[in-house]
Amino acid sequence: MTLIAIHADVDRASVLSDSLSYTVTARRLRRATKVFAVPHLDAAVLTHGDAELGNFWAVHASLHSGAATFDELTDTAPEALQELWRERTMMAEHRNAIHGGNRPVPRSIAFAVGYSAHAGRFRAVAHSSDDDFQPADLQGLWIIPSPLDVRPSDIEQQRLEETFRERFDDDQPVRALRSQPAPVPPTTPEQWANLARTVREQRALADLYSGLKMYIGGDALLTTLERGHQSTRRLLTFADSGPEYEQMMAGSLHPAGQLGLCGCESGARFVDCCLEQIADEPCPCGSGTSTFADCCRVPLRGSGVPL
């Protein structure tokens, strides 16, 4: 997952993203470019969700689609994305059958942002796996994950309500977000940077079990698209070390999370306390038949291995 904020205006479009990439358990973090320019279409593409879908979408848009215009790209995208999704789903089912897991392909959104000759302006289009990758125009400022003081997109709102029903049997806390005001598009780089800071504070630093958490880090990058010109600037670099970083990773399988205090308030390290319950179970990272103890667990005290 990632931070994405998009605003398409008449003569330009802006895309904000972070540069943090992580595995499903956050055991390993990486840095990645997430917005890919397609200059011959006056466009850029990016994804939220499955990394393999993101790789395919970037290559397809820039090389394999054969589109001569942005409108052709978005018109032909559903069929290409649906075919890849079927392949990714079959691969996941095969992996789960062999290794005994039950991990689906992450729900994903493929975005295209660019100049539409048909509309006579820049457009932002989302193709979501939730809706079989049918195109949906994004209006106003579109953000995922959204700050908690503005109304989320329809896609995120639906996902939040599903998550709260599954985890807490009550979606009322997030249903209330529907009454929040629509987000206001930033007009300056500093306003875009402030948006990135707010999302990091409200969503990445949220408790792991709150149902609101998404990891956000690395750099906040702003890509600006105009006809015949594209540019990207680094707005800020997040504090990915120290107390703030430890708060973000608390409760995760990342070493900083495992070595942090356990959420049960026992005063012990997470790895020495509640993580011991899954030590002999298949590792949550989905590596196969390895147990958590043999795979992603950090060394325990007294193991002779420096911590």
Does position 305 have pLDDT exceeding 50, yes or no?
no
pLDDT tens track for 156-178: 999 999 999 999 999 999 999 99
Question: Model-level pTM?
Answer: 0.90
Does position 304 have pLDDT exceeding 80, yes or no?
no
CA dist., res. 205 & res. 247, Å (int): 6
pLDDT tens track for 197-228: 999 999 999 998 899 999 999 999 999 999 99
Which residue ranges form the domains of the chain, and what is each CATH number?
Answer: 4-248 (3.60.20.10), 253-307 (no CATH)
- pLDDT top residue among 83 and 95: 83
The DSSP element (H or E) to which 142 belongs, if any, is: strand 141-144
Query: Which residues share a beta bridge with 128?
Result: 109
Residue pair 4/15 in contact (Cβ under 8 Å)? The answer is yes
- Measure the N-to-C terminal CA separation of the chain; round to a whole number of Å: 29
pLDDT tens track for 61-72: 999 999 999 999
Determine the average pLDDT of the residues in 86-113: 84
What confidence score (pLDDT) does residue 99 get?
66
Longest dimension (CA), the chain: 67
Residue pair 82/133 in contact (Cβ under 8 Å)? The answer is yes
What confidence score (pLDDT) does residue 306 get?
37
Length of the chain: 307
Which DSSP category does 110 fall into?
E
What confidence score (pLDDT) does residue 18 get?
97
Q: Report the 10 Å Cβ neighbour count for 287.
A: 16
pLDDT tens track for 117-151: 999 999 999 999 999 999 999 999 999 999 999 99
pLDDT tens track for 25-65: 888 889 999 999 999 999 999 999 998 899 999 999 999 99
Task: Give the orientation angle of helix 70-99 with respect to helix 51-59, to 10 degrees.
Answer: 150
Q: Which amino acid is located at 155 in the chain?
A: I
Cα-based distances in Å from 5 to 2, 14, 22, 154 = 10, 8, 19, 14
Kindly give, in sequence order, each residue whose CB lies less than 8 Å from that of residue 189, ignoring residues fewer than 6 positions away.
222, 233, 235
Query: Which residues share a beta bridge with 123?
Result: 114
pLDDT tens track for 228-271: 999 999 999 999 989 999 999 998 999 999 998 888 888 889 99
What confidence score (pLDDT) does residue 95 get?
74
What confidence score (pLDDT) does residue 132 get?
96
The percentage of the chain sitting over the pLDDT mark of 70, rounded to a whole number, equals 95
Query: Which residues share a beta bridge with 29?
Result: 22
- pLDDT top residue among 81 and 278: 81
